[in-house]
Structure 1
Amino acid sequence: MTAHAACAAELTSFLRSSPTAFHAAAAAAALLAEQGFVRLDEQAAWGRLPAGKYFVLRNESSLIGFTWSGGGAFRMIGAHTDSPGLKLKPKPLRREQGCLQLAVEIYGGALLRPWFDRELSVAGRVAWQDKNGGLRSALLDFQRPVAVIPSLAIHLNREANKQQEINAQTDMAPLIGLATETAADFQELLREELRRCCPDAEPAGIIDHELFLYDPAPPALTGLKSEFITGPHLDNLVSCFAAAQALRSADSSLNCLIVLNDHEEVGSVSAAGAQGPFLRDVLERLLPEAEARQAALRGSFFISADNAHAVHPNFAAKHDALHLPQLGKGPVIKFNANQRYATTAASAARFRQLCAEAGVPAQDFVSRSDMGCGSTIGPLTAAGIGVDTVDVGIPSLAMHSVRETAASVDCWHFCRALSRFFSPGQSDTLWQKK
Structure 2
Amino acid sequence: MADTEVCSVVSDFIDFLNASPTAFHAVDEAKKRLQKVGYEQVVEREDWKLEAGKRYFLTRNHSTIVAFAIVGAHTDSPCLKLKPVSEVKRAGYLEVGVQTYGGGLWHTWFDRDLTVAGRAMIREEKGGSVSYSHRLVRIEEPIMRVPTLASHLDRGVNDGFKVNTQSHLLPVLATSVKVELNKEFAENGLAEKTTNKSRHHAFLLQV
TM-score (norm 1): 0.26
| Equivalent runs, 1:225-244 vs 2, <5 Å | none
- AA matched with 2:91: Q
Which string of whole-angstrom CA distances, capped at 9 and with x for unpartnered residues, describes residues 330-374 of structure 1?
Answer: xxxxxxxxxxxxxxxxxxxxxxxxxxxxxxxxxxxxxxxxxxxxx
> Matches of 1:136 and 1:169 in 2, distance apart?
31
Distance 1:189 1:168, change over 3 A: closer
Q: Does 1:142 align with 2:142?
A: no
- AA matched with 1:81: T
Determine which of 85, 94, 102 is the counterpart of 2:96: 102
- AA matched with 1:165: K
> Matches of 1:189 and 1:177 in 2, distance apart?
9
C-alpha displacement of 1:88: 0.8
Determine which of 160, 163, 179 is the counterpart of 1:163: 160
Determine helix, strand or coil for the equivalent of 1:161: helix
> Matches of 2:163 and 2:204 in 1, distance apart?
29
- AA matched with 1:174: P
| Equivalent runs, 1:400-419 vs 2, <5 Å | none
C-alpha displacement of 1:159: 1.5
- AA matched with 2:109: W
C-alpha displacement of 1:96: 1.2
- AA matched with 1:173: L
> Matches of 1:160 and 1:94 in 2, distance apart?
27
In structure 2, the partner of 1:93 is 87
- AA matched with 2:69: R
Distance 1:118 1:135, change over 3 A: same
Which string of whole-angstrom CA distances, capped at 9 and with x for unpartnered residues, describes residues 124-160 of structure 1?
Answer: 1111122221111101001110001111122332211
C-alpha displacement of 1:188: 6.0
> Matches of 1:81 and 1:145 in 2, distance apart?
23
Determine which of 116, 125, 128 is the counterpart of 1:131: 125
Higher Rg of the two aligned structures: 2
Which string of whole-angstrom CA distances, capped at 9 and with x for unpartnered residues, describes residues 51-109 of structure 1?
Answer: xxxxxxxxxxxxxxxxxxxxx98532211100011111111111111111111111111
> Matches of 1:93 and 1:129 in 2, distance apart?
19
| Equivalent runs, 1:108-119 vs 2, <5 Å | 108-119=102-113
> Matches of 1:126 and 1:143 in 2, distance apart?
16
In structure 1, the partner of 2:71 is 77
> Matches of 2:85 and 2:150 in 1, distance apart?
29
| Equivalent runs, 1:256-267 vs 2, <5 Å | none
Moved over 3 A (4+): none
> Matches of 2:172 and 2:203 in 1, distance apart?
18
Structure 2 segments unaligned to the other structure (5+ residues): 1-65, 186-190, 192-200
- AA matched with 2:97: A
> Matches of 2:202 and 2:133 in 1, distance apart?
16
- AA matched with 2:154: N
> Matches of 2:145 and 2:76 in 1, distance apart?
22
Structure 1 segments unaligned to the other structure (5+ residues): 1-71, 194-434
TM-score (norm 2): 0.53
Number of residue-to-residue matches in the alignment: 123
In structure 1, the partner of 2:172 is 175
- AA matched with 1:91: V
> Matches of 1:105 and 1:149 in 2, distance apart?
13
